[in-house]
Structure 1
Amino acid sequence: MAKSWIAWFTAASAALGLGLAQKTSITFYYPVGVAGPLARFIEGYVAEFEKRNPDIEVKTVFGGNYEENQAKVVAAIKAGTPPDTAILLSQQLFTLLSMDAIEPFDPYLSKDPELKQAVGDFFPAFMMNSTLDGKVYSLPFQRSTPILYYNKEAFKEAGLDSEKPPATWEELVEYAKKLTKRDAQGRVVRYGVAIPTEDRSTWLLEALVIQAGGLLYDPQGRGCKVLVNTEATRQAMQFKRDLAALHKVSPEGVIAWGTTPGDFAAGKVAMIYHSTGSLGFIRNNARFPFGTAFLPKKVRYGVPTGGANFYLFKGSDPAKREATLRFIKYMVSPELQARWSMDSGYVAARRASWSLPAMKEYTRQWPQALVAREQLAYAKAELPVYNLQQVKDIVAEAEQAVVLGRKDVREATKEAQARVDQALAPFCKR
């Protein structure tokens, strides 16, 4: 009886034009790579999108940090249930292609002027890891460069000009010696500088390699050639070792990525290398005036771009794909990119965002936010390689061995090069 009544009601509703609207449901995985309540911001943006688009439901999956999120997406792909879209590191392109997991945006660009306009409006530096063979495989969202944060109060206390941060590696050491503070017993109560050595990341090492005049990869290598056993890489690793072991201006041992902004905000270290994406956290937690600056150079200024992009995963039906594209367009729009930059500190990836009145007012109040954008003029693509996480793990292990004094830098880079070449071999057969 109940089933008959439901059938009658459904038929009657359809006849009267009262059919129940069907929602299209899409799945979205995302990470948070820096300190602060960034997941709350992203969930808020999703809720706003759903309110504006009541025919679409976005099922969010917070994946943890970049590496954890990548692992969860890969697990979903292998299980045959890939997300409709996910924010993953821009440098994951080759790994995702090797899994045959993603599709390019190009078929949709030709049909969607709004999407095509967005691609043309992104800063070119942020598109370096997004394209291959003329195809667009991902769209920038939470993008960054590493920058120098420095404590202006500590600078004045040490007799340094608070408006002139160090511009070279030599100046960084000189400043850090003056900024390192000890108590009556000789114990360090404030270090001069901290450059994190994250377990599974090569990002800040890449920056130092670029500044030493090199690159951690061959740009012509098509994801198959990593350059570990080079003089520039050795100089970069040794510099990090020397800050603690020789100059005594940086904490001994491995410096954790996640705790470094908090240590800076607490006054435990006067200068740090960190993502511009940590600007929001530092802005809200530091109880002293602080500045931001380009990372100091050795032979040149330079940083890798960083952060993550939206990807499209194979397997979506037309309705899901259309809903996914509407969602991505919303998330990368100039207005939302500006909000995201103001909320987090990440660089608004759209050039149009910086002309909006709210963004102009924000950068007037917080000129520190302009540094990462201006540093894009010196940016290189972030390590683009197959088997990305294993390669990064190998290089990071070598870096840690040098920083901890367990291996000579020449031994460490030679061994790491052999291991990296072996890790790439299955993906790079000629």
Structure 2
Amino acid sequence: MHTTRRTLLLAGTASVAGALATPTVSRAGNIVKLTISHGAPRFAKMLADLGRQFTGKNPETEVEFVASGDNWDVLLQNTFRGAVSGDLPDGTWQSLTYARKLAKRGISQSIDNFSGGVENLAIIGLSLPLIESTIVDRRSYSLPFGTTLPVVYYNIALLNSTGASHAELPRSWDEIIEIGRKVASLGRSISGGYIEYASTNAWMFQNILGTLGGRMMNAELTDVAFDEPEGLQALGIMAKFGQTNNFDMTTEQARHAFNSGVIGVHIGTASTIKSVAKAASAQFELRVGPLPVQAPGGRLVGAGHGFFMFTKDPARQKRLWDFIKFAAGADGQAILAKHSGYLPINMIALNDPQFLEQYFAVNPYHRSVVEQLPFSADQFSFPTDNSAKIMDIMSDTMRKVVTQKSEPKRALTELARQTRELL
């Protein structure tokens, strides 16, 4: 890479707005306005702060963030439509799992001409597993901005109501399930546990499978591998944990129920830690722990996101690159930590005692989660245009298993069959 560690940890731009539009150049003197689409309106404040601080250091460039959906999937579909109609922004903030789709369709542009190549990205402190998730045909198409990992939220007040001591958090799936069962026995108005089984890309299944050392596909990407013993064990864990839930809910309903103090154990994403902690502060003691990683080759699966470059104009690409590297640097990572529950991805920043002190001051529940970052992979996406269909089938399978409508072995066999047909 032609930038030094120091220069990549410094740089920036952004502001916030409304609907997807073709990028416009607003020149007052030499000022250029870039547009970046996103699918996360709830983080408008963070994006606005990111933009203000970047423009403060780069007054010749402004960035307008344009909401184009309320999640990564809707954003992706709107991006495809924009590509067909010639109505693309200069770039997008998107899930890294879609790097291949955006590159293969010729929508995103490689950043190698600016970064100096894939081999240089780790030098400037970025997480290696996240870097690998941006690579398509040996070229990188995004600079990661942040990630999240699964966590286990515990309502200590409900756990204590079972009469057991919980000085230490559970270290195994069996212990988590047992605690959930005890809380469920407190009464019909209380649910023992909930797992966000409907998460995008079957993320929870990928994570439980990962903690057991399993894989979604073989190394050659020619056949599924989730139907191995680890896959059956993963579905078995989900089925047992599902028995701790006295009533099924949507993810949003379950989050609200946990925040209201009526669920004992909630398995979800670290990105919601701030909102959960705020809700719990006046009601119950909250503790947050990682998913158990019990297998020797086990790992957690993150859900990384980053900024992609769409514009083909060299001058606009250079300005967009300046913003992208600002977001991945120390200043951008501090803004991410301040406004969201997402985890920073800059390992240099995370190894800086001063940064960590400031980071944990605003994210005290992240201590155990951050320790897992160097050993986590990024979520898997099937190498086919049918990936979305496969993931929808997997989500429906998880629902049936968790709600006891299908037993794990039969569900896994059928899931593998359907996936193979769509690959």
Deviation, structure 1 residue 41: 1.5
Question: Shift of the alpha carbon at 1:133?
Answer: 4.8
Q: Higher mean Cα deviation, 318-327 or 159-168?
A: 159-168
1:379 is displaced (CA, Å) by: 1.9
Give the letter aligned to residue 331 of structure 1.
A
In 2, are the aligned partners of 1:125 and 1:376 still within 8 Å (CA)?
no
Q: Distance in 2 between matches of 1:133 and 1:120?
A: 22
Point out 4+ residue stretches in structure 1 off by more than 6 angstroms. none
Does structure 1 residue 372 correspond to structure 2 residue 377?
no
- Cα offsets for 1:315-359 (capped at 9, x unmatched): 421121111111112222212212312321211111232326354
2:239–2:408 Cα contact (<8 Å) kept:
no
Taking only aligned residues, the RMSD between alpha carbons, in angstroms, comes to 2.7
Q: 1:295 aligns with which of 280, 291, 308?
A: 291
1:311 aligned onto 2:316: no
Inter-CA distance 165–396: structure 2 relative to 1 (3 Å threshold): same
1:334 is aligned to 330
Partner of 1:57: 62
Residue 277 of structure 1 corresponds to 271
Structure-2 separation of matches of 1:81 and 1:326? 23
TM-score, normalisation: structure 2: 0.83
Q: Which amino acid aligns with 1:415?
A: E
Please give the secondary structure, in 2, of the residue aligned with 1:384.
coil
Residue 182 of structure 1: aligned partner: 186
Q: Secondary structure at the match of 1:29?
A: strand
Give me the whole-angstrom Cα distance separating, in 2, the residues matched to 1:155 and 1:405: 24
Query: 2:212–2:293: 8 Å Cα contact kept in structure 1?
Result: yes
Give distance in 2, aligned partners of 1:350 and 1:399. Answer: 33
Deviation string 1:39-78 (CA, Å, 9 cap, x unpaired) is 2221232233334433323232223112122222222122
Distance in 2 (alpha carbons) for counterparts of 1:420 and 1:77? 28
- Percent of pairs identical after alignment? 19
The structure 2 residue matched to 1:141, chosen from 145, 158, 164, is 145
Counterpart for residue 263 of structure 1: 257
Instruction: Return the offset for 1:132.
Output: 4.1
The reply to whether residue 46 of structure 1 matches residue 42 of structure 2 is: no
Please, which moves more after superposition, 206-215 or 403-412? 403-412
Q: Does 1:346 align with 2:342?
A: yes
Give the Cα–Cα distance (whole angstroms) in 2 for the partners of residues 88 and 128 of structure 1.
16
Q: In the alignment, is the contact (CA less than 8 A) between 1:138 and 1:311 conserved in 2?
A: yes
Matched, 1:381 2:378: yes
> Which protein has the larger Cα radius of gyration, Structure 1 or Structure 2?
1
Contact 1:85 1:311 (8 Å CA) reproduced: yes
CA positional deviation for 1:138 = 1.6
SS at match of 1:309: strand
8 Å contact kept, 2:192–2:246: no
TM-score, normalised to structure 1's length? 0.81
Q: Which residue of 1 aligns with 2:395?
A: 396
- For residue 102 of structure 1, give the secondary structure of its aligned residue in structure 2: coil
Q: 1:32 to 1:356 in 2, by over 3 A?
A: farther
Q: What letter is aligned with 1:29? A: S
Q: 1:82 aligns with which of 88, 92, 98?
A: 88
Shift of 1:199: 6.3
Residue identity matched to 2:172: T
Q: Is 2:229 aligned against 1:231?
A: yes
Contact kept, 8 Å, 1:261 with 1:278, in 2: the verdict is: no
Residue aligning to 1:29: 37
| Alignment check: 8 A CA contact 1:199 1:397 kept | no
Secondary structure class of the residue paired with 1:83: coil
Instruction: Report deviation, 1:150.
Output: 1.3
Q: Tell me, yes or no, if structure 1 residue 214 matches structure 2 residue 202.
A: no
Q: How do 1:80-119 residues align onto structure 2 when only pairs under 5 Å count?
A: 80-110=86-116
Letter in 2 for 1:236: A
Shift of 1:278: 0.8
Deviations 1:81-134 (A, max 9, x none): 2222112111112222331222222111139xxx95676311223223122454
Q: Residue type of the partner of 2:237?
A: F
Deviations 1:373-418 (A, max 9, x none): 2112442331132233222112222222333444443333333323
Q: Alpha carbons of 1:409 and 1:346: their partners in 2 closer, same or farther (altered >3 Å)?
A: same
Is it true that 1:68 corresponds to 2:65 in the alignment?
no
Does residue 127 of structure 1 match 2:131? yes
| Residues 169-226 of structure 1: CA deviation (Å, up to 9, x unaligned) | 111122112223534xxx2x222221012165300111111223312222432xx544
Whether the 8 Å CA contact 2:127–2:346 is kept in 1: the answer is yes
Q: Distance in 2 between matches of 1:86 and 1:417?
A: 33
